Structure formats: C-alpha cells, structure tokens
A and B are shown apart, each in its own frame.
Chain A
C-alpha cells in the first residue's frame, strides 16, 4: 500500500525554528515534495528531494533519508506569514502519480 504520515497540527513562536516530519511507505519512489498551502488558497511548491541529504532554500530546508522513508521540513526564523498547512508528497513512478500526506497545519504565534 501507499501511506504518508505527518503530524496534524503544530504550534511555534515567531522567530523560532520548527521541524515538520514526514514518513512514507510507497510503491516506487521518484522524489519527495513539500508544498505550502495557506487557508483558502492553492498549494504552492516549496522543495524537492530525490537524493539523501539536506536541501536548503533560504529560511526553508528539507531533508530526505530514503532508507528510512523519512523527510522533514525545517523552517527557521519563523514569521507570522508562515502560518499555513504543509503538505508532504511522494512522486511514485510505479503508481505514476503523487501521493499526498494529510498535511500539517502550522500556527505561528507572536
């Protein structure tokens, strides 16, 4: 089967660092994606990992371990505008489509 797991909700303080974890079990793997979705808006692409290791892009970083079926999204210097849902998705070549996790709703408090 195919399954992606993420925490449902997280809360953090403005200026802090938060790590959102994602574990996956999929038939086939061709990359892991993180998307950000503000309430009432479309998801937008944040990051992509296909090899093990850390990808850094400004305040956001994403890590992948294929052997462990594990990824995390790291958000530094949190801002109020980072309050959103963060979606983990795996591109599964065997299934020829993306499998999405349930999303993690992050609330950034002042």
Chain B
C-alpha cells in the first residue's frame, strides 16, 4: 500500500514564525498536493506538483510556498504564519496517467497559530 507520511501530527506556532510542513510518499508517485481542511469548507487546494522542481498554484496559494527537490518529498512553507492559517493540512499523492487518479492522503497536520 502507498504510504504518505507527514512529519508532524500536531504543531503549535506563533504569529510571524516560518513554518515547514514536510510530506514524504514511498510509491514513486509523480503528483503531490497540499490541501487545507476547515469545517464547512471542505478540502481546498493550496499547491500541487507534477514533477520534481515543478509547482503550480492551487485555489488558495496566498501566504504559502512549496518546494519539491526530490520526487518523494513535497514541503509546504508558511513564510510568516498568521492566525488565519490555523487549520488541518493534508498532503496527498497520486500516480500520473492512472485511469482513476485517486489520491492517497497523509494523516494530516493540525497547525495552530497563536
């Protein structure tokens, strides 16, 4: 089975801090995604990547950046954390070219910005 691992389950940071959320997948998937999940809003796409060193903005990229230096690792960076970035962050990966490109999710990182 595909395993998507997020480095932290819970994280508490202060306003203005730089925050790194790490995600690693072990099945050689080309596609990787970062979502945030908020009650009543569902999952919203922040950034995605279809290849190493490639990144595309999703629906809500403001205040975030990403890095994909290796195929298996996709990092989400909050340059200067703000309280409205308190959320559950979910990383996902999928196989390019599959007939049903289902997503495999990590367990999520619950980030609280104080």
Which residues of A pack against B, CB within 8 Å? Answer: 4, 8, 31, 33, 35, 41-45, 48, 50, 87, 89, 91, 96-98, 100-103
- Check A102/B40 contact, CB under 8 A, given A42-B105, A97-B33: yes
Q: 11 pairs across A/B with beta carbons < 8 Å?
A: A31-B100, A35-B103, A42-B90, A42-B106, A42-B107, A45-B102, A48-B102, A91-B101, A96-B48, A98-B45, A102-B41
> Which residue on chain A has the smallest CB distance to residue B9?
A40
> Is the beta-carbon distance between A87 and B42 smaller than 8 angstroms?
yes
> Is the beta-carbon distance between A97 and B48 smaller than 8 angstroms?
yes
Task: List chain B residues, Cβ under 8 A from A33.
Answer: 100, 102-103
Complex Cα distance, B40 from A75, in Å, reads: 22
> Is the beta-carbon distance between A98 and B103 smaller than 8 angstroms?
yes
Which residues of B pack against A, CB within 8 Å? Answer: 4, 33, 35, 40-45, 48, 56, 58, 90, 100-108
Complex Cα distance, B92 from A98, in Å, reads: 11
- Check A44/B100 contact, CB under 8 A, given A96-B56, A100-B42, A102-B42: no
Residue from the list A4, A43, A97 in contact with B58, Cβ < 8 A: A97
Rounded to whole Å, the gap between the CB of B107 and the closest CB of chain A is 5
> Is the beta-carbon distance between B45 and A97 smaller than 8 angstroms?
yes
Complex Cα distance, B102 from A4, in Å, reads: 18
Task: List chain B residues, Cβ under 8 A from A97.
Answer: 33, 45, 48, 58
> Which residue on chain A has the smallest CB distance to residue B108?
A42
Rounded to whole Å, the gap between the CB of A101 and the closest CB of chain B is 6
